[in-house]
A and B are shown apart, each in its own frame.
Chain A
Amino acid sequence: MNRALRIGLFCAFVLTGAAFVLLGIFSGQAQAVLSKAIRVCLECIGIG
């Protein structure tokens, strides 16, 4: 794969990733991740 395409795709992924994280923060998704992560996930431990 040529270098320019590699750089272009890398930049596109990083910019999209950063934009998605920001969008997630402003739409309350980050908070939803936190509230799930601080409770014992019963499914994960094979009980729920």
Chain B
Amino acid sequence: MAEVKKVKGEWKRLTVQAAMFLLQNPKLHNFFLGTIDTGKTKIVCAPGLNCYSCPAAIGACPIGSLQNALSKQKPSFPFYVLGFLLLFGALFGRWICGFVCPFGLVQDLVHKIPFPKKLRTFKGERVLRWTKYAVLLVLVIGLTLFDTLVPYFCKYLCPSGTLFGAIPLSVTVPQLRSQIGFLFWWKIGVLVLLLLISLPISRPFCRWLCPLGAIYGLFNRFALLGMTCDAQSCVGCGACETVCPMGIDPRTQVDSTECIRCGRCIRACPTGSLARRFGFAPQAHKKSTM
């Protein structure tokens, strides 16, 4: 069981993540009013797993919108939502996971809480990563098409909806509180379990369950924003591998579907062999700080 090492400068990424959270969820006063935003901006899909029932949200959750488009009596091909997913994926890939997604930020913050052992990965963990594709194909698409009108992922699994929608709204709206039943407690259970697992292992939901991360991961290889590893200057010390929160070896898996482009490995590399790639230059090496 490999342990994850610390790396300097994480506060910079956390600052960007916090700013991105506020950009997507600026209507903070709605948390106290017990209402959600009804503005026209909600016609646009947010890049991350940002629940549209979060009182502060001003965008639409792409997975919720996809489920909604599919869970009709007569589902049509969801051009609009898929268009956003293609654009976000092609431009940024999983950089969105590392810097933009609110639920990614929450897991990162929980993982910062001291815990006796912080694990990078464990035996059999790689197999678990396939689960997110099953979630996408079965819960988000398959069951929703089969049993119309039920958005299975939102209803039974999504922890972002529970944290940013269910909890604040149930605290402030008595009518909603009076309707709480098994489903609510099931979703709270899923959220609590994922947050508890986030203490020893970074981003369990992103690694194993998130359908949006599964989609964006497929674009990592072609996205405008990526990473490169220069095999010539790499001395094989493995420092990059020991700091990766997703349990990847960036020397050999720089375009892995699992990489969230957090840049920890870039900062850990003593020879500057890892770098961010903007555009399609084959190898543009310059030591980056973020």
Contact = CB atoms under 8 A, between A and B. Distances in A.
Contacts, number: 159
Contact of A46 (B45, B80, B188): B188
Contacts of A17: 82-87, 90
Interface string A3-16: 10011011001101
Given A44-B166, A45-B162, A32 B69 contact: yes
Overall SS of chain B's interface: helix
A13 B155 contact: no
B43 A33 contact: yes
B161 A1 contact: no
B52 A48 contact: no
Contacts of B53: 40-41, 44-45
Given A10-B280, A37-B60, A45 B166 contact: yes
Nearest to B39: A38
Interface residues of A, number: 36
Nearest to A21: B83
A10 B223 contact: yes
Interface in B17-55: 36-40, 42-43, 45, 51-53
Given A38-B36, A44-B53, A45-B169, A20 B68 contact: no
Contacts of A19: 83
A10 B87 contact: no
B186 A46 contact: yes
A17 B62 CA distance: 14
Given A36-B68, A38-B37, A45-B161, A13 B89 contact: yes
A10 B59 CA distance: 25
Contacts of B76: 27, 29
B192 to A, nearest CB: 13
Contacts of A18: 83, 87
Overall SS of chain A's interface: helix
A45 B176 contact: yes
Given A33-B80, A33-B81, A43-B154, A13 B86 contact: yes
Nearest to A36: B68
B86 A16 contact: yes
B222 A45 contact: no
A41 B161 CA distance: 9
B68 A1 contact: no
A13 B59 CA distance: 22
B165 A38 contact: no
A48 to B, nearest CB: 7
Closest 5 A/B residue pairs (Cβ)? A24-B80, A20-B83, A17-B86, A21-B83, A44-B161
Interface of A: 1, 3, 6-7, 9-10, 13-14, 16-25, 27, 29-34, 36-38, 40-41, 43-48
